Structure 1
Amino acid sequence: MDDIDFHHPLFLHPSDTSGTVLVSHRLTGVENDTVWSRSLRIALLAKNKLEFIDGVCLRSVYPESLRAQWDRCNTFVLSWIFNTVSPDLSAGLVFASDAAAVWKDLKDHFSKVDSSRIFFLHRSIAHLTQVDASVSSYFTQLKLLWDEYTALVSFSDCACEVAQQNSNHLLQQRLFQFLMGLNETYAAVRSQILLMQPLPSVNRAYSMIVQEEAQRSFSSVLSPVSDPVAFSSTASSSSKSLLALVIFVN
């Protein structure tokens, strides 16, 4: 068999197994196709197997001596796809024999960028608030919504001034969205951020809020709240005990 090094699309690492779950997201339908497909594409790119689902790495282009190895790689990619699809969906894929065909079939069924999904993302972003979550957890949820929106909606990559202004406006919107969803306990630091000129990036604002959260947590540990009533009662009892002891001695 022809030499296959680790740069070759047909190379399989000894640690590769058909039971490997490449991504934590399981495809359940239209609602999470964007996140799932992007995550899986990144994972397959890392394993140099992205060409199998894009239909670039074809069995017919390889000599007979490498076709058995192509079959193995194709089967591995099929298994990795099955492992990240919900049981209801994977049941209809088990008889498939080509990874590119399966990928195309899934995209035809679930990759539907329509106005309803974009509307859902807008509404989710607008309504998302911190509530009982930590700042990091709240920010992570918000960033997931932003990332999916960015993946669904095409933005101009032009380097012109107008495109740059639009990009800056989008980043400013995200800063405001993040600040609006914070609990009112962060109102003071939020006001400080809004007074900064120029406005900081959303990542910088997040860092400032997290520092404030950590400072409060640290202060609450070092400064336990004293109960003035209990303190007064304890002091009164101590005084009475001391007075009784003096009377007894005399």
Structure 2
Amino acid sequence: MDDVDFHHPLFLHPFDTPGTVLVSHRLTGVENYTVWSRSLRIALLAKNKLGFIDGVCLRSVYPESLRAQWDRCNAFVLSWILNTVSPDLSAGLVFASDVAAVWKDLKDRFSKVDGSCIFFLHRSIAHLTQGDASVFSYFTQLKLLWDEYTALVSFSDCACEVAQQNSNHLLQQRLFQFLMGLNETYAGVRSQILLMQPLPSVNRAYSMIVQEEAQRSFSSVLSPVPDPVAFSSTASGSRKKFTGTCDFCKLKGHKKESCYRLIGFPPDFKFNHPGVAE
């Protein structure tokens, strides 16, 4: 058999096994096909086996001496796919022999990229708000939706001026989406971000919001809590009865400025001693 080096599509690393689970996502149907297929394509690209599912790495391309190795690699990739689909789906794939045909069959069955799918994804992005979640959790969820939307809706990678303007507009819209979904407690820092010229990237804005969140958490920890004993003592002291003598009537229990004999008795005042005249 001809030698294959590390960069050859037919190379298998000693640690590669048919039981390896390449991605954590498990295909269950239409609802998660996009995320699953995207994750698996990235993993297969890292292992230089993407050509097996794209139909580029064909058995007929290689000489007779390498076809047994191709069959082995094909079986490995098929096993990796079987390890990441639900049991109901894997039962219908175990008898397949060509991994490219299996990939095409799954795509035809579950890749339903239509207007309704894009609409509901766009609505999820537009309606997502922070709520009770942390800024980190909110931004992570929003970014996952953006990535899924990008996988479904292709954008031009042209380097022309118009394409660049469209790209800048998309990034600006994502910045606004992130800021709009934040709780109103971040209204101050949000206003600061919107006043920046030029507007920062969404990642930069996220960093600023996270710093604000961390600062608030730190400040709440350091804020002194009033001593309930001291507060009670101060409050009771402020209500303590006056024990001195009035300078006008020479009676105890009130000051001159509140002496009724000087300022007048209230209409409903009742004398405790009959001998005291009004």
TM-score by length of 1: 0.88
| Offset at residue 61 of structure 1 (A) | 2.5
- Write the distance in 2 (CA, Å) between the matches of 1:124 and 1:158: 28
| Offset at residue 206 of structure 1 (A) | 0.4
2:55 corresponds to: 55
Q: Deviations over 1:31-53 (max 9, x none)?
A: 22222111111110110111111
Q: Does 227-236 or 108-117 show the bigger shift?
A: 227-236
- Map of 1:15-34 to 2, 5 A cutoff? 15-34=15-34
Return closer, same or farther for 1:103/1:237 CA change in 2, 3 Å cut-off: farther
Return closer, same or farther for 1:224/1:158 CA change in 2, 3 Å cut-off: same
Return closer, same or farther for 1:65/1:177 CA change in 2, 3 Å cut-off: same
- Write the distance in 2 (CA, Å) between the matches of 1:159 and 1:4: 37
Q: Aligned to 2:26, what secondary structure does the other structure show?
A: coil
- Write the distance in 2 (CA, Å) between the matches of 1:45 and 1:74: 14
Return closer, same or farther for 1:160/1:61 CA change in 2, 3 Å cut-off: closer
| Offset at residue 231 of structure 1 (A) | 3.6
- Map of 1:85-96 to 2, 5 A cutoff? 85-96=85-96
1:108 aligns with 2:140: no
Q: Deviations over 1:157-205 (max 9, x none)?
A: 3333332222222111111100111111111111111111221111110
| Offset at residue 4 of structure 1 (A) | 1.6
Q: Deviations over 1:124-147 (max 9, x none)?
A: 001111112211111111011111
Q: Deviations over 1:92-118 (max 9, x none)?
A: 111111111100101111112100111
Return closer, same or farther for 1:225/1:97 CA change in 2, 3 Å cut-off: farther
Rg larger for:
2
Q: Deviations over 1:53-109 (max 9, x none)?
A: 111112222233322221111111001111111222222111111111100101111
Q: Does 118-127 or 30-39 show the bigger shift?
A: 30-39
For structure 1, the residue ranges without an aligned partner over 5 or more in a row are 239-248
Return closer, same or farther for 1:69/1:203 CA change in 2, 3 Å cut-off: same
| Offset at residue 12 of structure 1 (A) | 0.7
- Write the distance in 2 (CA, Å) between the matches of 1:97 and 1:122: 38
| Offset at residue 235 of structure 1 (A) | 8.9
Q: Across the two proteins, how many residue pairs are aligned to each other?
A: 240
Return closer, same or farther for 1:79/1:162 CA change in 2, 3 Å cut-off: same
2:232 corresponds to: 232
Return closer, same or farther for 1:215/1:66 CA change in 2, 3 Å cut-off: same
Identity %: 93
Q: Which has the higher helix share?
A: 1
- Write the distance in 2 (CA, Å) between the matches of 1:164 and 1:227: 60
- Write the distance in 2 (CA, Å) between the matches of 1:37 and 1:149: 14
Q: Write out the 4+ residue segments of structure 1 that deviate beyond 4 Å after TM superposition.
A: 227-230, 233-238
- Write the distance in 2 (CA, Å) between the matches of 1:203 and 1:186: 16
For structure 2, the residue ranges without an aligned partner over 5 or more in a row are 239-276
Q: Does 150-159 or 223-232 show the bigger shift?
A: 223-232
| Offset at residue 210 of structure 1 (A) | 0.7
Return closer, same or farther for 1:227/1:80 CA change in 2, 3 Å cut-off: farther
Q: Does 153-162 or 52-61 show the bigger shift?
A: 153-162
- Write the distance in 2 (CA, Å) between the matches of 1:34 and 1:136: 24
- Write the distance in 2 (CA, Å) between the matches of 1:231 and 1:18: 71
Return closer, same or farther for 1:229/1:72 CA change in 2, 3 Å cut-off: same
- Write the distance in 2 (CA, Å) between the matches of 1:224 and 1:96: 69
